[in-house]
Chain A
Amino acid sequence: MAKLNINGKTLDVNAEPDTPLLWAIREQLGLTGTKYGCGVAQCGACTVYVDGEPVRSCSLPISAVNASQKIITIEGASGKIVEAVQKAWLEHDVPQCGYCQSGQILAAASLIKAKPTPSDEDINREMSNICRCGTYNRIRTAIKQAAAAVRGA
């Protein structure tokens, strides 16, 4: 039985070691905010944080994560940056179907953490998550607003 630290709790996970973290999160722990889109690290719908870094959980087996590493999913994401991003997302009415947005939000918060004043090029480079509904321009605007809010600008 593997142990995972998810959203601040250490939980037992009854799954084979090669089970992708995504499916352990969704099926063993019942946290469905993290989405399956492609399973091959292409779309970013499955993005979670492992020790603060965004990872594509569909392509990370649970055997590669130990109980001391802190996994944060959209349900457990908090703090000034994530909240600023969520707020900006609502203000700009970003989501269409919304399916990709858990991943987009976590990716955006990481970007702002690394680049407090993200340029268009930074956004183009770092925001590689797929949105089939095409919310990209709203995401771009919302990232800039959230970043400004975090900077206190």
Chain B
Amino acid sequence: MNALDFNRRTFLVGAGASAGGLTLGFSISDEALAQGATPEVNAWVVIRPDDTIVVRIGRQEMGQGTITGLAQLVAEELEADWAKVTYEYPTPGQNVARKRVWGDFATSGSRGIRNSEKAMREGAAAARMMLLQAAADEWKVPVAEVSVAKGVITHKGSNRSTTYGKVAGAAAKLTPPTNPPLKDPKTWTIAGKPLKRLAQDGKVNGKQVYSIDFQAPGLLNAAVKDCPIWGGSLKSFDAAAAEKMPGVKKVLKIENAVVVVADTWWRAKTALDAVKIEYDSGKSANLDSKAIDDMLNEGLTATEAFIGNQSGDVQAAIKGAARTVEATYSMPYQNHAPMEPMNATARWTADKCEVWTSTQNGEAALATTSQAAGLPLDKCEVYRMDLGGGFGRRATSQDYVRQSVLIAKEMPGQQIKLIWSREEDQLRGCYHPITKCKMTGSLDKDGNLTGLHMRISGQSILATIRPEALDKGRDPATFQGLNAGGAEGRLGYTIPNILVDHAMRNPPVRPGFWRGVNNNQNAIYLECFMDELAKEAGVDALEFRRKLMKDHPKHLAVLNAVAEKGGWGKPAEKGVFRGLAQHMGYGSYVAACAEVSVNDAGTLKVHRIVAATDCGHAVNPAQIERQIEGSFAYGLGAAMFQEITIKGGKVVEENFDSYPILRMDDMPAVESIIAPTGGFWGGVGEPTIFVAAPAVLNAIFAATGKRVRNMPIKNTDLRKA
């Protein structure tokens, strides 16, 4: 782990900004006004003379639809004409210069919309009030007499009308109102509607420019091989042959990495392959998957553990039980593998450093740039480019940005694009953390669940990635979805005696935030074990859960919804079996009912998954459906066949031939129930991923009588015994 990797607190301190900077207390910058005829009404809303509305968005689009949703919310409060709405990304440098007026850029934790909606809706509502005031002032009529629809302002009394574009300049000069009232979501006409995404054309004609596509005159390209041994280091390398190869400009050592800079990337990569590199394995020479498994096994029964959720006396409950059930589950390392490999372009001079990259967190990229460049934040800039996928990889670490800056620093003034090969992306990932879990449940003589002990053993993401977020050594994020309370991820069951604890065991392989994060394994562990308990109690899996969910109506509502639509309790097609799961995370309640079959050869087919989400407010149901489907493709691929294994401290699976990705033929039909109950804002990009795997695993048991407790599923022979 690189000590200089970004952490948010350092950035906040470094940036000298307050975390609560999302107010309307900004002033219109003279600079922006001076920039010409395109005044910003406020930081969020720019209106061009031709009435185009430009919504400025701090969060990042990476395929999840966030910019469209945020633009809808702004257009709604603004009473804009949706056909005229477009967007732009303020740069992280501008955000620093304007005291974080656009708030947090981090686009992870399914918070793109839910943590920006208030500031952006208020910004839009304020802009609308200012625009109306400007028109009223021009007509010298009371503002109460003017109205607006689709960006056209009208004064009925005098039969006059104007447009936003015409009054934007005057509006920009007005004092922004404080606490502008927001619309009742029940009256939304743009937000809440299944609109198509913004900016799709370039994605069907090849014109969309991702950061890997960045071009500029004189641009050089770099290929990198960082030390692939986790905990190891670069010992020596021989670049003699590589230096003579066509197009090669320089062979460099950057920390533990060897880098070739050449005119084209292919030449850089070819030369890099010709460099003879030796590594020092350090303490990792014998680090392999077996050693890591042993480490985790020890944690399953260790006496000391961090407590996540505790009430009653679980040991007493287990002792006094009529029956107990015990099972151990495991979840391997998994890599994000977004389709666009990590890359960044940088140019460094003694007084300025610029980076062009795809990142889920422009502010983190800027902080990383500043640290690597040895220049203050105001002498650095990051230009945000479109992402070919993120899934948490481009949020966890800006290591590729750091490398690109360090490379550029070696050739001052030269713009250099660093691209990781797919192999580098696999070898230097921030993997879904490895954990195991020992589940122990106690039943009374009537089959009621009296106690549950959930002992998690394994890796903490925060301990490596954001150690300052640990709470006296404890990683609170480990318990996602298992907490006794809170709005983020509450356990949906009331169990009289419960203990959820975590024996933290941190192998030197870097973990990261991987779509769904710790909810993924927590949902598998808990929801599959619920099925085991129901079976032991001789009770239907849905009925068993319902008894425990009386005090959790929102969890129960989504579970009931999928059970009903999924046909739970009714006969399925011959050979098809069902499984259920529910979970809560990132503020949303989700459930799934999966239908699978397993043939005589043991081949699994997932036919259909009915999914439900209560995300509070549904800003764009069409895009939520796409996130549900996408999350299932991502989560099922992981559950079915993805694992990163370690040998000699190094990742074994270097490309998609050994690290299979779910493809068309394995994609189930997905039916979505979007059931927002209002009053809160839950996330959308991740939550449904939690329930895909456990619902399928429970259906596999129904089909085969086999409990698959170790992921991925491919490691278990599913043929009927």
Contact = CB atoms under 8 A, between A and B. Distances in A.
Is the pairing of A and B real? yes
Interface of A: 15-16, 19-20, 23, 26-28, 30-40, 42-43, 45, 73-75, 86, 89-90, 93-102, 105, 123-125, 127-140
B73 to A, nearest CB: 19
Nearest to A88: B204
A40 B655 contact: yes
Given A39-B422, A135-B630, A137-B629, A15 B264 contact: yes
Interface string B679-718: 0000000000000000000000000000000000000000
B630 A134 contact: yes
A35 B665 contact: no
B205 interface: yes
A19 B267 CA distance: 8
Given A90-B200, A98-B200, A133-B634, 7 more contacts: A40-B655, A40-B656, A45-B339, A90-B204, A96-B65, A96-B626, A97-B387
Interface string B166-207: 000000000000000000000000000000110011111111
B201 A90 contact: yes
B667 interface: yes
A135 B655 contact: no
B662 A134 contact: yes
B265 interface: yes
Contact of A35 (B267, B339, B622, B669): B339
Contacts of A32: 206, 209, 212-213, 215
Question: Which residue of A32, A99, A135, A138 has the most chain B CB atoms within 10 A of its CB atom?
Answer: A99
Contact of B663 (A96, A105, A130): A130
B478 to A, nearest CB: 26
Given A33-B206, A99-B388, A124-B665, A38 B422 contact: yes
Contacts of A139: 664
A124 to B, nearest CB: 4
A131 B339 contact: yes
B339 A43 contact: yes
B340 interface: yes
A105 B207 CA distance: 14
Contacts of A102: 206
A134 to B, nearest CB: 3
B338 interface: yes
Question: Chain A: interface secondary structure?
Answer: loop
Contacts of A43: 339, 656, 661
B389 interface: yes
A131 B202 CA distance: 17
B64 A96 contact: yes
B661 A19 contact: no
A31 to B, nearest CB: 8
B656 A42 contact: yes
A26 B213 CA distance: 8
Contact of A97 (B204, B340, B623): B340
A19 B197 CA distance: 37
Contacts of B267: 16
Given A35-B388, A40-B656, A124-B664, A98 B202 contact: yes
A137 B64 contact: no
B26 interface: no
Contacts of A35: 210, 212, 339-340, 388
B206 A132 contact: no
Nearest to B636: A134
Contacts of A136: 629, 633, 663-664, 667
Contact of A95 (B200, B266, B632, B664): B200
A27 B264 contact: yes
Question: Which residue of A28, A32, A94 has the most chain B CB atoms within 10 A of its CB atom?
Answer: A32
Contacts of A16: 246, 267, 270
A75 B670 CA distance: 32
B62 interface: yes
B664 A97 contact: no
